[in-house]
């Protein structure tokens, strides 16, 4: 079972074409820095290869205390967060998580530009779709350690698919909002409460 005490190590994972400079990542970082400076915070720039991303993440948290760590992920980062949670047993917060990324990102093969720095480009290779497909076979266990914020107004992902992927999880289902959760200020308190950092 996840520890009842507060999280001491927190990993934040951005979405596809995103970065640690995303609005939500910066909101998290600022709150941790100002209100919970003792918490170990990590928000890495993820490589485009899903296999390389998972290798990086599992190596980064290898020495972290499983019962006191948590992972937060947005969109594709939510998919990776589920992979990390299943590998480590930690708590996970999912923000409009991708649940079928191999299907959804198959149309994105080719050169891509970063949202936050359009001058930065990367190539999303066909092999990466297969890497995502391999990761999609992961289990989903112990729903009590998951908290999901899902917007019906998400213009990129289907909220029905997202909710169906996480039965039994704590769920905050928003009637409107959008994929970026531009109203995240109204939900961040609930996220930090779930992490024991209210």
Structure confidence by residue, pLDDT tens digits, 45-85 = 999 999 999 999 999 999 999 999 999 999 999 999 999 99
Does pLDDT of 29 surpass 90?
yes
Please tell me the total count of domains within the chain: 1
pLDDT at residue 4, rounded to an integer: 58
Q: Buried (b) or exposed (e) across 155-175, using 16+ Cβ within 10 A?
A: eebebeebbebbeebebeebe
Label the pairing between strands 110-113 and 121-124. Answer: antiparallel
Yes or no: say if 26 and 89 are a contact pair by the CB < 8 Å rule.
no
Q: Mean pLDDT in the chain?
A: 92
Does pLDDT of 1 surpass 50?
no
The CA-atom distances, in angstroms, between 190 and each of 5, 22, 92 are 16, 20, 13
Domain enclosing residue 165, as ranges = 9-194
Per this entry, what is the length of the chain? 198
4 part of a folded domain: no
1 part of a folded domain: no
What CATH number is attached to the domain comprising 171? 3.40.50.1820
43 part of a folded domain: yes
35 part of a folded domain: yes
177 part of a folded domain: yes
pLDDT at residue 178, rounded to an integer: 75
Structure confidence by residue, pLDDT tens digits, 123-165 = 899 999 999 999 998 889 999 999 999 999 888 999 999 999 9
3 part of a folded domain: no
């Amino acid at each position: 079972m996840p520890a009842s005490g507060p999280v001491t190590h927190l990993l934040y994972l951005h979405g596809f074409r995103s970065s640690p400079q995303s609005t939500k990542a910066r909101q998290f970082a600022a709150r941790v820095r100002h209100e919970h400076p003792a918490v170990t915070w990590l928000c890495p720039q993820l490589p485009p290869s899903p296999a390389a991303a998972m290798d990086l993440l599992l190596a980064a948290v290898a020495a972290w205390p499983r019962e006191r760590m948590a992972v937060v992920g947005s969109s594709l980062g939510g998919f990776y967060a589920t992979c990390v949670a299943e590998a480590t047993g930690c708590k996970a917060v999912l923000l409009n998580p991708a649940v079928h990324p191999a299907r959804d990102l198959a149309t994105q093969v080719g050169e891509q530009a970063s949202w936050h720095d359009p001058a930065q480009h990367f190539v999303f290779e066909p092999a990466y779709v297969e890497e995502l497909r391999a990761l999609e076979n992961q289990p989903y266990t112990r729903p009590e350690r998951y908290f999901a914020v899902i917007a019906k107004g998400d213009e990129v992902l289907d909220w029905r698919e997202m909710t169906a992927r996480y039965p039994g999880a704590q769920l905050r289902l928003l009637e409107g909002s959008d994929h970026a959760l531009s109203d995240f200020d109204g939900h961040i308190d609930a996220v930090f409460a779930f992490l024991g950092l209210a």
